[in-house]
Structure 1
């Protein structure tokens, strides 16, 4: 190990000890003639590349067996769900693999990979042109796209409806949300899908002074309103509407329990979709500002969309302190090609 030319090879040492012992002098340490540290040499001193070269490593462990197949499974990252969350995570993870893992952990660069599984088309709510662009960009960045429905999830693999088995080391489930066990257990009116039922003013029917917003709630069938998408902007708009509604009720003298029944609630809640955005990594993103999939509006892809996506979310960070840190982080990412915290 000491004589290996580290300009040609990476050195990886696996041993239960981080030092070597010079055995001819070991007997002298037993009677106190020498100290134990005098006959022990750290592995990093024998081969300095282990301490300083990015592709050389020392593992303090025992080798119990060799399985290249198991290594491939552990380094396989599977994302289930081709919505904005799944696509964004796949893009960011692929960027991390290409920019950091391949440079700093060269010994696993040929094993680590990302697979995105979706039952239909990825980003189904976006324009067809944007979906095709996203597919090309993800494929170019190394993300393997698989169309299929997950039938079963096991500790080390998932099984698709066609019988295909996909081994994984990391599984990210991003196929949407459903009612939690708490929501299911509540004895309240339910909307389709098992969520808490609400009326046009976000009230829970027949339950005084109780309102529900966000993913846990949905319009009851009697309202005739469509199911709201499980997006953050829905909950945000509902929160702003409910805050104004509660203020109006309070000013009218209905702020106490069971005292707001006769208060005029004003206009009901109306959701207007502002569009969707998703990042693909590598300074690429999608911006779709149409109110519906069939509607007309602006749809962009590429670097400009990435800049719009970054700028839009930068303004949503609550504190100016965090806005500053996020802005500096993004600028250094563009200048240095990576997050400054990794430099």
Structure 2
């Protein structure tokens, strides 16, 4: 197989780039490689974990997207790269019983884009990898949800005989993922008690603790946003411990440097990210954090016709700042590379202006009704604090904009209406 443009990684940025290029150039020229069969917008994984979003309704098939957007989909993990020969090795696909479904394959490319995202950084904390769940992918979120259901059922059965029975959930990391998960879990726990767990009182018996190493949660965001988020968490009965350095994690507890111990039936690691370790086997230049080094045009250093984007790329933009690992950066980089490749295909001169990251602000969800955040103005350093219903509608619009990029405006509108109607005829949380 050979593709003129091959994109490895079907996350938000990679999929948008493949879809937009595919509609322009067609399936013989544009290939997307991913180790999974369906796509989900990663910022919504906390909703899947809480059970308020059904992955089987939310997930979008790559095969369907390839057919509709005019690119070719290759199912399998990237296991090798020969940069000189411009050739990828795609690993075999096997069942849980080790039966081979697809063999190992090779894929030649004219240009390659690596967009494989990020994974958790455990910073060497003992027990973190073994005893926590990180919301890196759909299977992680589903594993958390199923474990939560088991724990709720067990606590509900024990409650009449053990008044202190309940579920202790510890979330390590007070960034957007940790804060959004805490709020979503509190909202979901109130719903679960109405669907059979009637002995449990959500705020009393589903005990949620958020541990953050910095002096405040949402540290990269303006202090006003952080303070508003803290107030909302306290109102929901969520315990927040700042300046907490976790030193050890066991099967049923978390310990910090001050000797405090936090009971934990379920523990989520949301304290940091790093580039996937397999990038170190590809022979490409890596930054200290394991990301692929790229120049201002998103080209990999010393590797002609290879590009990297999103969380896995260490990119310093035209303003001299490191581009943060955020969804809006991946979206912008996808549009930048779209222009790059379309110019190449048309025989035009390369873009003269390097990529420049534009920060439009941040929004943090607090369940299905409330959001807080800040919006950046056109003047440098100017921002507006937003909260409530207006902020919530803007948060929802980000998801719809991503869907519009890969599905088109009409289908996105139909899908949004269908989901609205389904929510009116099904339980508010997934119960199986």
Q: 1:331 to 1:289 in 2, by over 3 A?
A: farther
- Give the alignment of 1:215-226 within 5 angstroms: 215-219=311-315, 225-226=320-321
User: What TM-score, normalized by structure 2, do the two folds share?
Assistant: 0.54
Deviation at 1:241, TM superposition (A): 0.7
Distance 2:320 2:209 in 1: 37
Instruction: Give the unaligned 5+ runs of structure 2.
Output: 1-152
Aligned pair count reads 265
Instruction: Give the unaligned 5+ runs of structure 1.
Output: 1-57, 254-262
1:339 maps to 2:428: yes
Distance 2:419 2:234 in 1: 26
For 1:104, what is the secondary structure of its paired residue? coil
- Give the alignment of 1:110-125 within 5 angstroms: 110-120=204-214, 121-125=216-220
1:301 maps to 2:390: no
8 Å contact from structure 2 (residues 319, 356) kept in 1: no
1:132 maps to 2:218: no
8 Å contact from structure 2 (residues 284, 292) kept in 1: yes
Deviation per CA, 1:133-192, whole angstroms, max 9, x where unpaired? 111111111211112122222232222122222221222222231021112333221224
Aligned-pair Cα RMSD in Å:
3.3
1:180 maps to 2:276: yes
Distance 2:399 2:222 in 1: 21
8 Å contact from structure 1 (residues 329, 340) kept in 2: no
Q: 1:138 to 1:323 in 2, by over 3 A?
A: farther
Q: Give 1 or 2: higher strand fraction.
A: 2
For 2:308, what is the secondary structure of its paired residue? coil
176, 195, 205: which one aligns with 2:291: 195
8 Å contact from structure 1 (residues 191, 198) kept in 2: no
Greater Cα radius of gyration, structure 1 or 2: 1
Distance 1:123 1:76 in 2: 23
Deviation at 1:67, TM superposition (A): 7.7
8 Å contact from structure 1 (residues 332, 340) kept in 2: no
For 1:316, what is the secondary structure of its paired residue? helix
347, 355, 371: which one aligns with 1:285: 371
Deviation per CA, 1:293-316, whole angstroms, max 9, x where unpaired? x92122111232223322343343
User: What TM-score, normalized by structure 1, do the two folds share?
Assistant: 0.67
Higher RCO, 1 or 2 (CA under 8 Å, sep at least 6)?
2
Deviation per CA, 1:304-337, whole angstroms, max 9, x where unpaired? 222332234334324455544444545887x89x
